[in-house]
Structure 1
C-alpha cells in the first residue's frame, strides 16, 4: 500500500517505514510493473519500438521514411534497461537503420546524415544509461545505510516482549531518508517492563543522533533502576549531555529537545501503569468499553527542564487500566495530520467508532493498522512530520527470561 510517496507495511511487531527492499542481485528492479514471472521484461519496450519502426518504414512509400526514428530506440533502452542492454539496442538500431535504408532505391534513401544521427544517439544513450545505473547503485547503497541506521535506532522487537503484546508502525515524512527523530522501545528488566516513545525536535541526522542517545540511556536505566523517576532523570541528563557535545563540536543544533512518554509496568501488577510525561501527547487506553484519555504528566520536554530550574524529574503518575485494554502512544505526525480544509485528524473519535464497530480493533496490531490507514487517508498521504503509532497491552503471562537478562 502506498500513498503520497510514503511507504507502509501492515502493522506488526516490527517497526516500519521501509520501502520495498532493494535486491542486491538486481539493481534494475525499479521497473516492477514490467515483470513477468519474476523476471524483468523492460527490454520488450525498445524491441517492439524497433520492430514497429522497421515495419512501418518498409510498408510505406518512399516519401514517408521513418527509419531515422531508430534513434529513439536506444534512448528508450537507456531510460528503462541496463547498460549492456542499452548497448545491444544501440547496435541493433544502427544495424536496422543500415538494412532498412539499403533496401530502398538510391533516391529514397535517408543517407549518411541520418546514419550519423542514429550513431551519435546510440552513443549518448549508452553514456546516459551508464550514469543512470551508477546513480541507482549509489541510491540503493544509501537506502541500505538508512535501513541499517533505522534498525540500529529502532531495533526489532520479538512478538511478545517483557510480558507485553505490541505493534508499531513508523512512517518517515522523508520517504528517501526513511529515518527521523521519532523513537520507541520496550525494555524488560527485574523491576518491571518499561516503555518509551518520543519525538526529537527537528529533522535530519542530528535528530537521529539525539534519538539514539536517548534510547541508549533508556535501555540501560530502564533495566537497572528500580524507580521510574530515576529512569526519567537519566533521560533528562542524557539529552543535556548530548547537547553539550553538539555545542562543543561547533554544530548549530545544540538546542534540541524531545517530547516523550515513559511508561512502567510493575512486575506482578496487570492493573497499574506508571506514566511520566515529557510534554508529549497523552496516551489513550482503548478497550471494548471505548476510548479514554490518560493523564500525560506535568513534565517539560526532555532537555528543557533547566528552564524552570527543576530540581528533580517530573512526577510519576499511577493509573489503573482494565485487563485487555491497549495503550496507544502516537507522535504528533498523527495528531497534527490535516485534511484539505486544515482540520486535524480526530483520533479519539475515529478509534471509538472503530472499537464500537468491532471490539477486535482494540488489539494492538489492528489498532495500529487502523490509525496508520486513517491518518494517511485524512492527510491524503502528505505527512508533514515523521509519524509513529505504538500500541502495547499486557498479555497476562509473566515476562520471560528477558526480564532478568535484558
Structure 2
C-alpha cells in the first residue's frame, strides 16, 4: 500500500465481519491455486455409503445421500453438482441393491434421491447466475467509482497523499463522499466533501462538483472564485435534478477546499463549507484548523455574509493535513461513544512519529475507526491525507508543463 495507491483500496480494504461477496465463495475453497470445492460433497457421499454398509438392516441411512448434491449446489459449479447428483443416484442403487430384499428402501427413496439431485442442479444454476449478476454489478460500481474518484498518481500536484473510501453499504460500494487534487498555474488545490443523502443522486452530485473543481481549480487563480463556482454548480445541478422530476430540492454538500500556493510553501489556504475542520498532524502533535464559518454547498443563498472566507494557516515542514468525512467522527462503539480521533492520533504519534506520514496516517485512522465501531459504519467514510513533498514545485504547475497534459487539455 503506497501513498499514491492506497486510494485504490477505498472499497476493498475492509469487509464487515461475517459478510462475503458471492464471487469470493469459490476462492475460499482452494488449495495451491486449485479448487477443492468438490471435496466436502465427496467425503459426505463416501461417509453415508460407508455408514449404511456397516449398519444393521433396521437402520438404513442411504437415503441421506440426497444431501450430497444439495451440498454441492451451495459450493460447486453446475456441472460438478450434476456429477454429484448422478453419483448419488448410482451409489444409492448399488448400495441399496447389495442388501437383502426385505431391507431395501426401494423405489420411493430412489425417486427422492433423483428428484433431490435434479432440484440441486437447478438451485446451483440459479445461484451461479445470481453470483454472475452480482459480480457484474460490482464491476459497474467499480467503474463508476473510478469515474468519480479518479486514481491519483504519487506526488500529484507536489503533494504526498493517501486516501481511503469506505462505503457504509458494502454491497453498493459507492456513495456521496468525494475527494480530488488539482494542480494548476496558481498552485495545487484539494477538495474533500460529502454530499447529503445516498444513492445515485448523491453520486451524481459528487461527480458534478468534482468536474467543476477540476476545471475551476486549474483555471481560477483566486480560491474564492473556485468556491463560488462550486456553489453555483451545486445549485445548477439541483435545479437540473428537480427539472428531471427528482426530489433533490434539499440536497447539499459539506466540503473543505484547500489551496497550496506555489509562492508560499509554508502556508495552506482553507475554505470550509460546513465541513469537519481538517487536523494538522506532525511531530509536535495534533491540532485542529479553525472551524469553518460557511454554509454547505447549495445553501449559500441563506448566508448573509456571502461565500465562506478564505483562511490562511501555517504548516511546518513534515506536517500532514488530515481531512475526513463524518463517518469517522460519528462512528460509535457498543456503548454509543463517538470515536476519539484526535486523542487516538496523539497516542499513535507518541508511540511512532512516522504515523504522520500520509500512508500511515490514513491506515491508522481507517483501522481505528473500524475497530471502534466493530466494522458497522453508519455512514460513508472518506479519509484523505496530504502534505507537501520535498521535491519542489507541484506537477503541472505552470504553462511550461502544459504540453505534458493528457489529451491536450487541463487535468
TM-score range, shorter chain: over 0.9
Q: 1:337 aligns with which of 331, 335, 338?
A: 331
- Per the alignment, residue 98 of structure 2 pairs with 103
Q: Deviations over 1:75-118 (max 9, x none)?
A: 11111111111111000000000111111111111100000000
1:77-88 matches, within 5 Å, as 77-88=72-83
Describe the SS at the equivalent of 1:69.
Answer: helix
Q: State whether structure 2 residue 5 is matched by structure 1 residue 13.
A: yes
**Partner residue in 2 for 1:375:** 369
Provide the C-alpha distance between the structure 1 equivalents of 2:24 and 2:330, rounded to a whole number of angstroms.
35
For structure 1, the residue ranges without an aligned partner over 5 or more in a row are 1-8, 22-26
Contact 1:29–1:40 under 8 Å retained in 2: no
Cα 1:372/1:249, change in 2 over 3 Å: same
Q: Separation in 2 of the partners of 1:67 and 1:28?
A: 33
- TM-score (norm: length of structure 1): 0.93
Secondary structure of the structure 2 residue equivalent to 1:337: coil
CA contact (8 A) 2:324 2:382 kept: yes
Query: Within the alignment, does 1:52 sit opposite 2:52 as a pair?
Result: no
* Cα distance per residue 1:145-195 (max 9 Å; x no partner): 001111111110011111100011111000000000000000001110000
Name 1:181's counterpart in structure 2.
176
Quote the residue 1:5 is aligned against: none
Rounded Cα–Cα distance in structure 2 between residues aligned with 1:359 and 1:130? 54
**1:284 and 1:291 in contact (8 A); partners too:** yes
TM-score normalised to structure 2 length:
0.92
Equivalent residue runs for 1:131-142 within 5 Å: 131-142=126-137
1:396 matches 2:393: no
The C-alpha deviation readout for 1:329-368, integer Å capped at 9, x for no partner, is: 0100001111111111111111111112211111111111
Match of 1:170 in 2: 165
Is 1:357–2:351 an aligned residue pair?
Answer: yes
Q: Could you tell me how far apart the structure 1 residues matched to 2:131 and 2:2 are?
A: 27
**Runs of at least 4 residues off by over 3 Å:** 9-14
* Superposition deviation, residue 380 in structure 1: 1.0
Q: Counterpart of 2:146?
A: 151
For residues 14 and 224 of structure 1, the distance between their equivalents in structure 2, rounded to whole angstroms, comes to 28
Task: Tell me, yes or no, if the aligned pair for 2:156 and 2:395 is still in contact at 8 Å.
Answer: no
- CA–CA separation in structure 1 for the residues paired with 2:56 and 2:3: 62
Correspondence for 1:191 among 186, 189, 192:
186
Q: 1:161·1:399 contact (CA, 8 Å) conserved in 2?
A: no
Shift, 1:401, TM fit: 4.6
Determine the C-alpha separation between the residues in 1 that align with 2:258 and 2:185.
15
Partner residue in 2 for 1:366: 360
Secondary structure (helix, strand or coil) at the match of 1:291 reads strand
- Structure 1 counterpart of 2:114, from 99, 110, 119: 119
- 2:317 corresponds to which of 318, 323, 332: 323
Q: Is the 8 A contact 2:256 2:275 kept in 1?
A: yes
After superposition, the C-alpha distances for 1:226-284 in whole angstroms (9 at most, x for unaligned) are: 00000000000000000000110111123210000000000142201000000000011
- Matched residue SS, 2:86: helix
Equivalent in the alignment of 2:234: 239
Cα separation, 2, equivalents of 1:80 and 1:339: 35
- 1:11 Cα offset (Å): 7.3
Q: Residue 116 and residue 20 in structure 1: after superposition, are their counterparts in 2 closer, same or farther (change >3 A)? A: farther
Contact preservation (8 Å) 2:285, 2:346: yes
- CA gap of 1:285–1:29, structure 2 versus 1, over 3 A, is closer
**1:291–1:188 Cα change, 3 Å:** same
Taking a change above 3 Å as real, the CA distance of residues 189 and 33 of structure 1, as seen in their structure-2 partners, is same
Instruction: Give the aligned CA root-mean-square deviation in angstroms.
Output: 1.7
Task: Name the CA distance, whole Å, in 1 between partners of 2:382 and 2:288.
Answer: 18
Q: How many residues align?
A: 392
